[in-house]
Structure 1
Amino acid sequence: MSALGMTAALGGCGVTGGSGDVTLRLVAADYGDSGANTSQKYWDKLVKEYESAHPGVKVEVTVYSWTDVDRKVKEMVDAGKAPDMAQIGAYADYAAKDLLYSADDLLSISTQADFASQLATAGQVKGIQYGMPFAASTRLLFYNKTLFKQAGLSAPTTWKQLAADAEALKAQGVKYPYALPLGPEEAQAETMQWLLSGGGGYTDTVGTYGIDSAQNVDTFTWLKDDLVDKGLTGPVAPGKLNRAAAFAAFASGDVGMLNGHPSLMKIAAKKGVKYGMVPMPGVDGATKNSMGVADWMMAFKKNGHAEQVGKFLDFVYSDKNVLDFSREYDLLPVTNSASQTMSSAEQDADLKPFLDELPQSELPPVDKTSWAAVSAAVKKRIGQAVAANGSPAATLAQLQSTASMAESAE
């Protein structure tokens, strides 16, 4: 259905046929990388199965690219035509405006209790869960086994070893000894992984922004002095290097090491790159907390279909459907039961290292409505911290100021 058709359809009352018939509308993101595995196919199959068992309910799913989906949902909500459900990147703004059902309003106790605890917590605002995790991922340090073997190296476990490995790779003529994508595409993720590895993060233990903490300044000072200034991050300035370009360079054999999520396995394997994966090195050993990422399902109160939405979502979060989705798109399941199945299944062995990181992972402060503005500021500015004439302390102080202002406006 076209965007215009969608808008027109959403203008209706959402009820079709007899008084007992209900049409639920879901807007979802596309996780596929081609027409062959678009998320529309996943949802069409799931909906067909659901509707056959629930004759009074129709479910219409419209899938948009990640480039468009958050904006499309915002436009619908702003026009007073919210869908019943949205599966997108952030929920906090809508929760803050009291537009969403809570998970308690919708899900069975067994479904709600099955969410991985740190994902369920990340979906809460003031102790009430509005964001239901839909897909999850963690990050590991990928390294090129061929390049490491040629240089006589083993995978690093500390920053010092990472820098020494990068020096050795540079001496072998490797283009990007360590690829540091701090460009605007996804700098907030690379930044968070490094902040965590230095014992810091975006927020302190009570959830207050602490971007310019001593640990964070130390982390970016080390990155600038020991990696970037020594020419160990490649020919493109980190602030201009995007994640997609870094992944492509790894798949071309031009990168020694970089942080990656599960999809990089497939990208590298297609090009015949032999890779290894280890937890992100920290100051004195492997990082205690990896970075976790989650995308969210939410349900809008506008159309008043709590009962029907709840039953449909209970089906969406059944083991079979969670596993089918996770396996199709190389993502981690958001439920404990599906995670247990995947951790012992031979077909999921490639994902197990990421799965092992999930219980110790830390998510960005997605419960804050200010996070969108802070994330955008990090994407725009963090590259300056490691630039030739940059100051890590000054850049992090600017970002902290942005965060404090954004938080005070909440």
Structure 2
Amino acid sequence: MASALGLTAVLAGCAGLGTPGSGEVTLRLVAADYGDSEANSSQKYWDALVEEYEADHPDVRVEVSVYSWNDVDRKVKEMVAAGKAPDMAQIGAYADYAAQDLLHPVGELLSIPVQADLLPQLSEAGRVKRTAYGMPFVASTRVLFYNKKLFADAGITDAPKSWNDLAADAAVLKADGVRIPYALPLGPEEAQAETMQWLLSGGDGYTDDIGNYQFDSEANVDTFTWLKDRLVDKGLTGPTPPAELNRADAFTAFTNGEVGMLNGHPTLMKTATEKGVKFGMVPMPGRGGRSTAHLGVADWMMAFKQNGHREEIGDFLDFVYSDKNVLAFARMYDLLPVTTSASRIMSDTESDAALAPFLAELPDTEFYPVGKTSWAEVSAAVKKRMGKAVAPGGSPKAVLDGLQRMAESADAAGEEK
């Protein structure tokens, strides 16, 4: 992501005050930057949105500070710790703040029509103990990308539908000299995404139907045992050990024409197209056919109670979640809208056709258990440990058992907060 544009000086001032005696309210929003340069920084989106909003709301000022993803969560945490919480934050997780009773429930903010328009599975993912605190801001799903030229050169005529198909195709690609038949990024950047996608395709996931961690389930152990035996140990995941391969490096290798298959999100389409890579996209293969459950990733908007601007925040967020603004941001960064109405518009718009495979998965997506206060700690452990499960001499069962014990302990500690 692009480097931070810098937190404006207003954040050092007294939060929540307008000009003395003016009756003006100042709302402060800290947001993440989805751009990769100053030219496409999210600051430009927010500046245009705020200018339009303020034109119709002369008694409300909105000041938006945009930070890179490397910094934004930490910056908000520091502000909250200093007693200077922003009115709103658009970041990666909300559960810790909700557990500390720092956030407004969504029902106190958004109008009923806007609440009802949020995609149901995303609204559900925004809950802590059955109360919604996180508002989904933008989403993405993952599909299997494959290099059409490498497939054709190797004589492969169809995209894989099952794990066995994927393994067989990877073996053919390797025999044809492809450097990385299947890229398996289990490095520290985003191992939690690749892991969850494989666990879902194997029939389980991180949690069971009632929200308890289930790392050590029989299906999960079988999934990573298959990965180790059928892909990694056979040399079908390339020269870099999965534990050392990050998503960004895997994407770069794909756009350089060195990867036969990998799991990717919508932004990979643009970079691959710019590099002239001819690619196809299909749902993730499953144990016996196409997977019926898909990984979804969402980023979140939340509103802090500290400054007492509930009504103004709610009105501004209703504007943020209008179709026009939701679609503008999603299209700017090749992501997916988080409302039913905007999703329907995107599905019916020819210029958005490239996103159709990702939109089609939205109804069957499952998201990280972000409503658990333990998730940040558990996610960090997955990033650190999961690659070891498929390393030479590694034991998928031992790694998953260890993660289960750690997750249960972190969950219990979170419940005590």
Bin the TM-score by the shorter chain.
over 0.9
1:125-136 equivalences under 5 Å are 125-136=128-139
- The letter of the residue matching 2:75 is K
- The letter of the residue matching 2:214 is G
- Give 3-state SS (helix, strand or coil) of 1:23's partner: strand
**1:352-385 Cα distance to aligned partner (Å, 9 max, x none):** 1100001100001000000001000000000000
Q: Which of 155, 158, 171 is the equivalent residue of 2:162?
A: 158
**1:56-84 Cα distance to aligned partner (Å, 9 max, x none):** 00000000000000000000000000000
Unaligned runs of 5+ in 1: none
Which residue does 1:281 correspond to in 2? 285
- Give 3-state SS (helix, strand or coil) of 2:370's partner: coil
Which residue does 2:242 correspond to in 1? 238
Which residue does 2:188 correspond to in 1? 184
Find the aligned partners of 1:212 and 1:107 in 2 and give their Cα distance.
Answer: 39
1:168-247 equivalences under 5 Å are 168-247=172-251
Displacement over 4 Å in runs of 4+: none
- 2:127 is equivalent to residue 124 of structure 1: yes
Find the aligned partners of 1:288 and 1:37 in 2 and give their Cα distance.
Answer: 35
Q: CA RMSD in A?
A: 1.0
Q: Which of 103, 114, 127 is the equivalent residue of 2:106?
A: 103
Which residue does 2:46 correspond to in 1? 43
Which residue does 1:348 correspond to in 2? 352
- 2:103 is equivalent to residue 81 of structure 1: no
- 2:25 is equivalent to residue 30 of structure 1: no
Give the C-alpha shift of residue 348 in structure 1: 0.3
Equivalent residues, number: 409
- 2:12 is equivalent to residue 8 of structure 1: yes
- The letter of the residue matching 2:25 is V
1:141-152 equivalences under 5 Å are 141-152=144-155
- Give 3-state SS (helix, strand or coil) of 2:98's partner: helix
Comparing 256-265 and 29-38, the one that deviates more: 29-38
Find the aligned partners of 1:351 and 1:38 in 2 and give their Cα distance.
Answer: 22
Find the aligned partners of 2:89 and 2:35 in 1 and give their Cα distance.
Answer: 17
Find the aligned partners of 2:19 and 2:126 in 1 and give their Cα distance.
Answer: 32
Find the aligned partners of 1:210 and 1:2 in 2 and give their Cα distance.
Answer: 40
Find the aligned partners of 1:386 and 1:335 in 2 and give their Cα distance.
Answer: 38
1:349-388 equivalences under 5 Å are 349-388=353-392
- 2:257 is equivalent to residue 261 of structure 1: no
Which residue does 1:299 correspond to in 2? 303
**1:206-237 Cα distance to aligned partner (Å, 9 max, x none):** 11001010000000000000000000000000
How has the CA–CA distance of structure 1 residues 335 and 392 changed in structure 2, closer, same or farther, with 3 Å as cutoff?
same
Give the C-alpha shift of residue 293 in structure 1: 0.4
Give the C-alpha shift of residue 13 in structure 1: 4.1
Give the C-alpha shift of residue 2 in structure 1: 4.4
The answer (yes or no) to whether the contact 2:140–2:266 under 8 Å persists in 1 is yes
**1:298-351 Cα distance to aligned partner (Å, 9 max, x none):** 000000000000000000000000000000010100000000000010010011
Q: Which of 52, 56, 60 is the equivalent residue of 2:59?
A: 56
Find the aligned partners of 1:2 and 1:16 in 2 and give their Cα distance.
Answer: 23
- Give 3-state SS (helix, strand or coil) of 2:31's partner: strand
- The letter of the residue matching 1:108 is S
- The letter of the residue matching 2:276 is G
Find the aligned partners of 2:181 and 2:203 in 1 and give their Cα distance.
Answer: 24
Find the aligned partners of 1:100 and 1:206 in 2 and give their Cα distance.
Answer: 24
TM-score by length of 2: 0.97
- Give 3-state SS (helix, strand or coil) of 2:206's partner: coil
- 2:115 is equivalent to residue 112 of structure 1: yes
Find the aligned partners of 1:13 and 1:207 in 2 and give their Cα distance.
Answer: 37
Give the C-alpha shift of residue 15 in structure 1: 2.5
Give the C-alpha shift of residue 34 in structure 1: 1.4
Give the C-alpha shift of residue 267 in structure 1: 1.2
How has the CA–CA distance of structure 1 residues 171 and 2 changed in structure 2, closer, same or farther, with 3 Å as cutoff?
closer
Give the C-alpha shift of residue 3 in structure 1: 3.7
Which residue does 2:404 correspond to in 1? 400
Q: Which of 70, 75, 83 is the equivalent residue of 1:72?
A: 75
Find the aligned partners of 2:23 and 2:110 in 1 and give their Cα distance.
Answer: 21
**1:166-190 Cα distance to aligned partner (Å, 9 max, x none):** 0000001000000000000000000
